[in-house]
Amino acid sequence: MANEDLFVALTECHFMNTQTMSEIAYYPAMKRWNDSVDGVLRAWAGRDLASEWPHPLAEALIGYMDEARVDVCFCLREPMMDISGGSASMSTNGFMLQQIEPYPGRMYLEANCGPVIRRGLEHAIWELEYLVKERGAKLCKMYQPEDAGPINDRRLWPFYAKAEELGVPLTVHTGNSYVVPQPGSHCDVRQLDDVMLAFPDLKVIAYHAGWPDTEALIGLCGKHVNLYMSLSGIIGWYQRAPYRGYHAIGTAMQWMPADKIVLGLDLPFDDTRRVVDYIRDLEMPEELQKNWGYAQPTREDKAKILGLNLARLTGIDPVKRS
């Protein structure tokens, strides 16, 4: 049976405020940041920043969503305040709200209230509660590489407690710190263990499959009932090098059900269809089933990964919009 009619949801769809980007372009750290972005884009998207990109705005993304039959997305500001010495964010939660306003039911806010420690807990907690209760934010991103401490820094405990109280899932950057000037010591996969032990009812979605420590993340997802693995970003690499994805997804499904794997973008918008189709069309090679014991993903498994899991976590209706 064809998989085209499955509900599809994507997290981590970044919009950029091009006006702000132009205003901070003179900072020396901007060139270093751009150069490091090229590295991950070569792997995940097969191109670099010099390539032609779609406009990083809602009106561009909605067209690619329709083309790929993506029903809903969760839209996220790009912070990187350390580029400008803390003077500006590349885009803000307010900018994101303006962008998604014309697309109710298709685009939802994925907030980012960080850097939580640097800006102060009281400010971050107030904004989180406001955005969830008053502006309908369905997720909140934790991006510790730009903050003053790692994922398991005890100064973050009140913020985690508030997210747990509000019932809003946190999406957390894990694994490699891909860009300069941000330290990898702030986003090690194993730091999630401390958070989940302290906040067992907090729902956490670990981005980028924790690469290069994907197996460590998989083990933690098997351990903690409310820890989920996201394929955001890295799915672009999986599609370009399919056996990487077969091994990652095959291993994950040996440790946890498909209920705990979710989809995300974090790629140029014109990559949307190729990465969604990678999951729609996913077939585990017989050699890997035989030699590695991987299961063949069922249509039900694909439906969960493509969107049902995110719908359940965020409380949205999993019906086709596209």
DSSP letter, residue 295? P
Instruction: Classify residue 322: in a domain, yes or no.
Output: no
CA dist 23 → 30, 91, 95, 310, 313 (Å): 11, 12, 16, 36, 37
Instruction: Classify residue 302: in a domain, yes or no.
Output: yes
Instruction: Classify residue 319: in a domain, yes or no.
Output: no
Say if CB 99 and CB 60 are below 8 A apart. no
Q: What is the pLDDT of residues 86-139, one digit of tens each?
A: 999 999 999 999 999 999 999 999 999 999 999 999 999 999 999 999 999 999
| Residue 166 buriedness (CB in 10 A; 0-12 / 13-18 / 19+) | middle
Under DSSP, is residue 237 helix (H, G, I), strand (E, B) or coil?
A: helix
Say what the pLDDT of residue 278 is: 98
Stated as kind and residue range, the H or E segment containing 221 is: helix 214-223
Q: What is the pTM of this model?
A: 0.97
Instruction: Classify residue 1: in a domain, yes or no.
Output: no
Say what the pLDDT of residue 2 is: 59
What sign results for the dihedral spanned by CA atoms 283, 306, 280, 271? Answer: negative
Instruction: Classify residue 120: in a domain, yes or no.
Output: yes
* CATH number reported for the structural domain that contains residue 180 in this entry: 3.20.20.140
CA dihedral 37, 40, 44, 46 (to 10 degrees): 70
Which residues constitute the domain of residue 233?
9-314
Say what the pLDDT of residue 322 is: 87
Say what the pLDDT of residue 1 is: 41
Could you give the number of structural domains in the chain? 1
Residue spans of the chain under pLDDT 50: 1
Instruction: Classify residue 148: in a domain, yes or no.
Output: yes
Say what the pLDDT of residue 3 is: 67
